[in-house]
Structure 1
């Protein structure tokens, strides 16, 4: 009996060790920027076609794993992910975040809905592929549209860890309050009358909440923070260091002077579409308050109100590019930067062409081009008619060319061959053989 118990205990320990290694390897190789999707199955067969299709569709933002469910491993999976049966699906951002588990069978539509719900309940990550979409790039536009003059991007900067996870949860609660407004339970319990400005900006898509991996995006992180916060939030972690995530907000302002520069169309085209100047000005403010939802919302509202009503100097500067985090799906940094530049140029060129019909100089220019084209066509037709009016010259030239072709080639100037005539001092060599003798 003791031997059987020892054997079962040993198998359990080995199973836990093997599962721990598998989970650690999967999380480490999936990419820190991706969501980990773990599907549990009792059969252990190959994943269903719709799961494989979802893995392809969400490749840039999620990594999928298929796990065989065994009763002997139930304690391990319960303690780690809260899974007590199969089939089940687990969504996990990193080892510090709380996993979200769905139990029961599911199909393709239900899996897509799970993915969408998870994305809505999580603060999006600021990455190279998402900066334009989130409206957190000075070379882009607000999520509310290209005509928006002022918009804001709130960024949580820090290294992965428990402190970062708690701050992301604080940001998520603040985002929920601003999206719901005064109807939320949290808003009714606290005095958030000052949050009306921030709530309106959030609903108008002029305010975006996002977070940045300060370790991967070290240059971008150091650019937006003062030097005294670099070792706490940016770059690799130190053994005796302290991880302290920081919240900052970037206010973007479009350059209306260049947009209204109709006097110099070429200058407008060069500045706006060839990238000589930045599209938007940037002002950066860091949140100095405590980790409290009410304090954070009041600070955001204060920043948005001042940014919308007060005039500030127009600052343009070179912001470091975000580092691509998934080289397999995005290619090299140079290729990605080139592709992004081409897309931006095409987008801005389309906007420039769309503005041309409103330019008063376009009509006269097209009329002048039409007149020049008509004159060229008339001149070519006139020359053709003049050539057709002289048939004799044309016939004589044709007959002369025919006679020239029929004339035989002259041979007067051709030197004679050395075999045409016998030289005077020539001597005929007579060969002898055995028959002649």
Structure 2
């Protein structure tokens, strides 16, 4: 039997015993506080007050006549029972949820007064002020009337604090609740429910196994979470960790939202594991912090959302290293955000405090290289996929200029040249004054997205590279590095894609073929060349200078637009993903609270065995 299986049965047995104790306590005798005052749970306020004075006086006199064992503790217990049951709200909470809001204060009082005489006992024994109502708040006050509309009909993740106005512990967490909401902005909504919302709290509370008594096993405040996949009370997630702001936020981000952690790096580990080791296909996002705090949830959410485009790292900025970081990446102070993009380009630096919306804008703007990389996730946006239509819309002819090679100094150098080509084609003054035939046409094609420039990792995408650069020299740019056999020589080539305007009969034929493929598994295995654009490949053989490459690109676009050139049709090798999907980026089902699962299992088992008819 596995360790996890044993652990499950231990947890199930412990839960069963705890619920049995609660059942026995609830059904066979009055709750403890009523026992302390020697009154029934139905006692009136007058009866409770009379019992308190009688017991208090008796204990006081007995201690005066001669010290007895535990008299001070008994006096504190009587005061505890009276202060709880004489207050309408505390008694309501105790009767409904078995919630003792003075328990922590009582334990402190017993510890502080251990060994003192009755004359040294100072009253009041504890000071409990009602929780101050929040004014304008970033959190939402939830009630029995608005809960369904705001939470259950929402698609957002909701983090909700259940608190009591009479609880000291509730006050401590409620004071930082607005700060929790600000840190969770853009990731989850934050709300609060006061225990006076009895119908709603009964639904949100845990239930004892047999009597279905609503309770809060760890007291208040309690935190519950509704996820986008759970809009019912039986699948909410209950937080059982430390009731501090940092611990709670980390739990929501890690355990509920499954967001990846963003780790801290020193300069050495940053260079080894991030700049060099995280792959050349990703932009590096460096987050400088002055205090070593954890990454905010919205940053971790961005790390999950943009994992295919960027790798994230945190760096602790210290004054003794300020000169070093300024010279290396241009960071003068913290907080700061740095994007390390194309080789040879200066990092892009932003100083100052970030928020979720501002950061989202920045990451969208800088998630790709200046000269984009042709990858599986970028092929359609670049227009370099024969199975798709032109990004320019209804255009029937479009172009992709690609520099292919193995990553290293040679490819980095040619990528730098191609960035200048890209800049040349976007500079209006240069285009109009060049006098190069077709230069204006190429610039207009780039602007209208009929033309794109990109680079290709010839090793990772070797099959794609082999097909388009099919020649005796293709091994200089495609496939794994062959030390001593061939040099690394990046290759530039252009692909012209073309779709002919179809007649009505041709469109009907294509639709008929699609229907046949959908209904016949044998035909569906054959290539569907009707949906693939025809292609023409031209390889650049000139010098690696900006002027020559611009002239060649301009000439190719001009001839491709104005001449009926031969082309081929057929499916081409697909671009491969550079890495496998990390576990935290995969879609994960949110499970119900662990204890709730155990309770459900026990209830089902007891029902099957006919042991419990009301479970």
Q: What is the TM-score normalised by the length of structure 2? A: 0.46
Describe the superposition over 1:354-397 as per-residue Cα deviations: whole angstroms up to 9, x where unpaired.
xxxxxxxxxxxxxxxxxxxxxxxxxxxxxxxxxxxxxxxxxxxx
CA distance in 2, matches of 1:155, 1:115: 25
Match of 2:392 among 131, 140, 144: 144
CA gap of 1:314–1:221, structure 2 versus 1, over 3 A, is closer
Tell me if structure 1 keeps the 8 A contact 2:336–2:352: yes
Q: How does 1:30-429 map to 2 (within 5 A)?
A: 30-93=278-341, 98-119=346-367, 122-145=370-393, 147-181=394-428, 183=429, 186-187=430-431, 190-192=434-436, 194-240=438-484, 241-257=486-502, 260-262=505-507, 264=509, 267-269=512-514, 276-277=528-529, 278-328=531-581
Higher mean displacement: 41-50 or 110-119: 110-119
CA gap of 1:305–1:192, structure 2 versus 1, over 3 A, is closer
Higher mean displacement: 278-287 or 317-326: 317-326
CA distance in 1, matches of 2:504, 2:463: 31
Higher relative contact order (CA 8 A, sep 6+): 1
CA distance in 1, matches of 2:369, 2:273: 26
CA distance in 1, matches of 2:472, 2:392: 35
Task: Give the RMSD, CA atoms, in angstroms.
Answer: 3.0
Aligned to 1:421: none
CA distance in 2, matches of 1:228, 1:99: 38
Tell me if structure 1 keeps the 8 A contact 2:285–2:339: yes
CA gap of 1:265–1:253, structure 2 versus 1, over 3 A, is closer
CA distance in 1, matches of 2:507, 2:354: 58
Aligned to 1:363: none
Describe the superposition over 1:311-331 as per-residue Cα deviations: whole angstroms up to 9, x where unpaired.
123411331111111311599
Corresponding residue SS for 2:286? strand
Higher mean displacement: 22-31 or 213-222: 22-31
Corresponding residue SS for 1:227? coil
CA distance in 2, matches of 1:121, 1:326: 18
Aligned to 1:427: none
CA distance in 2, matches of 1:61, 1:92: 12
Corresponding residue SS for 1:110? helix
Query: Which of these two proteins has the greater Rg computed from alpha carbons?
Result: 1
CA distance in 1, matches of 2:344, 2:472: 26
* Cα deviation, residue 94, structure 1: 6.6
CA gap of 1:81–1:238, structure 2 versus 1, over 3 A, is farther
CA distance in 1, matches of 2:369, 2:306: 17
CA distance in 2, matches of 1:165, 1:252: 27
Aligned residues between the structures: 311
CA gap of 1:193–1:306, structure 2 versus 1, over 3 A, is closer
CA distance in 2, matches of 1:314, 1:330: 43
CA gap of 1:293–1:119, structure 2 versus 1, over 3 A, is farther
Unpaired segments ≥5 residues, structure 2: 1-264, 519-523, 585-615
Corresponding residue SS for 1:125? coil
CA gap of 1:159–1:75, structure 2 versus 1, over 3 A, is farther
Corresponding residue SS for 1:312? coil
Which protein is richer in helix relative to its size? Answer: 1
Unpaired segments ≥5 residues, structure 1: 1-16, 332-437
* Cα deviation, residue 56, structure 1: 2.6
CA gap of 1:211–1:48, structure 2 versus 1, over 3 A, is same
Higher mean displacement: 218-227 or 114-123: 114-123
